[in-house]
Amino acid sequence: MTETSQLLQYADMQRTFYEREAKRDPEQQVVGCYDYHENVPYETNLLYLYGDIRKPIFTDFGNRTAFDFACGEGRMVRRMRRFFDKVDGADLSETMIDLARKRTPGSDFWVTDGMSTGAAPSAAYDFCYCTISMQHICVFETRDRILRDMCRILKPDGQITLQYLYSRAYPALPVTPVRSVSPDHSVQLFRNDKHHAKWFENKTDAVSTNSDCDVVIGPGELEIVYNYFRLYFELVDFWFYDISIGRDGLGQTRILPHIHPNSHISDEYHGTHFVYIHCAGKKYGG
Ligand SMILES: C[S@@+](CC[C@H](N)C(=O)[O-])C[C@H]1O[C@@H](n2cnc3c(N)ncnc32)[C@H](O)[C@@H]1O
């Protein structure tokens, strides 16, 4: 069991990091590759089962409310307001929340302690979502507290979709490109990752965040992740969005334009997919 003091220490580290970077450049330092993320069709993957527009998670979005966990300066709140009646958000960085308030009038925002949704009201939201933020929390118990608090703010029939990072061979990470060694054979060298966190790890002593120490899901962990979410929800489903296509680096030539939704950063980036974890029918939190 991780001590609360260790969780607070991790939250402090995250807060110090995000406050510093938010003051430097809230778009590029915090969101990172802002233009890239603005090109990714997050809405389709957050609001439609399997990212399929024939399968909306609600038959109507118009009279419903949504909550953006770790909303940053409000980028996805503004995008999601095109669907929902109201979208609110929370973040552990006060600087990001100040910006969100200025840039997104009409929404309510809260500063959090890094382990919750802050002072967001209970049983108030039809939908709770997260983009490029839960993946940066390398402490399982922090994410678990946040999920419980999401259950608190959800209406009884509320739903969630949370985006995490998936890496095709994790915990093995490629260190060389694929090399041809004979007309019929190729080799690639992998190393076992010790830097990022597996699902149940609690890396409270991480010294940095925002890609410097993430939680990464690999194929061998899908079942335990599924079983974990089933503790809180009757229905759990996953779908994947490929961000590994057409990158440059490691001796390959980039085949897609630099800002392209399927081609995140460079070949050296270990993440191969965004995995969307969708849950409905909450069993916890009233
Ligand atoms: C990469 S930015 C993404 C912002 C926004 N979700 C988006 O898609 O534009 C990560 C954000 O997560 C917030 N964050 C990271 N860890 C958090 C935590 N433990 N609790 C609340 N917010 C957190 C950061 O302050 C930062 O604004």
Q: Which residue has the tokens 């974990």?
A: 228
Domains of the chain: 4-282 (3.40.50.150)
Ligand 1, atom 6, lies closest to the CA of 71
What is the reported pLDDT for 186? 86
CA of residue 110 to ligand 1 center, whole Å? 13
Residue 251: is its pLDDT beyond 70? no
Catalogue the E-assigned strands of 1-116.
65-69, 86-91, 109-111
Query: How many Å apart are CA 45 and CA 52, to the nearest integer?
Result: 8
CA of residue 37 to ligand 1 center, whole Å? 14
pTM equals: 0.96
Of residues 140 and 270, more confidently modeled: 140
CB 268 within 8 A of CB 220: no
Q: What are phi and psi of 140, to 5 degrees?
A: -55, -45
**Tokens standing for residue 104:** 């997104």
Q: Which of 9, 46, 91, 110 best tests ligand 1's pocket when mutated (most atoms within 8 Å of CB)?
A: 91
What is the reported pLDDT for 219? 97
What is the reported pLDDT for 28? 83
Ligand 1: residues within 6 Å at CB?
14, 18, 30-32, 70-72, 75-76, 91-93, 96, 112, 114, 131-133, 136-137, 142, 210
- The per-residue pLDDT for range 220-233, each reduced to its tens digit, is 999 999 999 999 99
What is the reported pLDDT for 250? 63
Mean pLDDT calculated for residue range 80-104: 97
Ligand 1, atom 15, lies closest to the CA of 133
Mean pLDDT calculated for residue range 43-60: 97
CA dihedral 135, 138, 140, 143 (to 10 degrees): -50
User: Which candidate, 133, 131, 209, 216, places its Cα nearest to that of 167?
Assistant: 216
281 Ramachandran zone, left/alpha/beta (phi>0; psi -120 to 50): left
CA of residue 228 to ligand 1 center, whole Å? 22
Mean pLDDT calculated for residue range 75-99: 97
What is the reported pLDDT for 7? 98
Query: How many Å apart are CA 116 and CA 7, to the nearest integer?
Result: 12
CA of residue 278 to ligand 1 center, whole Å? 19
Percent share of the chain, pLDDT over 70: 99
User: Which candidate, 252, 244, 240, 242, places its Cα nearest to that of 270?
Assistant: 244
- The per-residue pLDDT for range 141-163, each reduced to its tens digit, is 999 999 999 999 999 999 999 99
CA of residue 70 to ligand 1 center, whole Å? 4
Atom of ligand 1 nearest to the CA of 11: 19
What is the reported pLDDT for 92? 97
**Mean of per-residue pLDDT scores for the chain:** 94
